Amino acid sequence: MPASHRSSSELTSLRLDKWLWAARFYKTRSIAVEEIGKGRVTVNGQAVKASRELRPGDMVQLRQGVVAREVKVLGLSSVRGPAPVAQTLYEETPDSVAARERAAEARRLAPEPADTIVQGRPTKHDRRKLAEWDDRWSASIDE
């Protein structure tokens, strides 16, 4: 059987980027590699490379947009299956679930950004006034 089609019971380790993609944390492996490169993914509290070999029992901390998650690796799979199967590859820590729910509630209760805009888009007259504002605050030595 080819190495790419082995079941999770035969795998002892798997590249981090491949696991993140198979577990459906990121839509593509290249996005997973990019997030790892930006330092948004750590394994057991350490910054890692995309080629880091992941094993069951490892703790993975990651960010998906504004959402921070911490998960324990339960299984390995080199193929991206349906979401219910992908969710069997990891277990999210209770602290991570609670923090994620608090953040979701805070976002839900936050004011709508568009509500703070009273008059809408500036008119041509308003834009000219803004341009004059820049002239008044120039950093010149002779003043």
- Reading the block at residue 65, the tokens are 């947009």
- Contact criterion met (CB below 8 Å) for 5 and 22: no
Contact between 45 and 64 under an 8 Å Cβ cutoff? The reply is: no
pTM score over 0.75: no
Which residue(s) pair with 69 in the sheet?
A: 62
82 closest CA partner among 22, 28, 3, 25: 22
49-108 pLDDT, tens digit per residue, is: 999 999 999 999 999 888 899 999 999 998 999 999 999 999 999 999 999 999 889 888
**Whole-number pLDDT of residue 1:** 44
Domains and CATH numbers, the chain: 3-106 (3.10.290.10)
Question: 5-50: per-residue pLDDT in tens?
Answer: 544 457 888 999 999 999 999 999 999 999 999 999 999 999 999 9
Residue 46, strand partner residues: 43
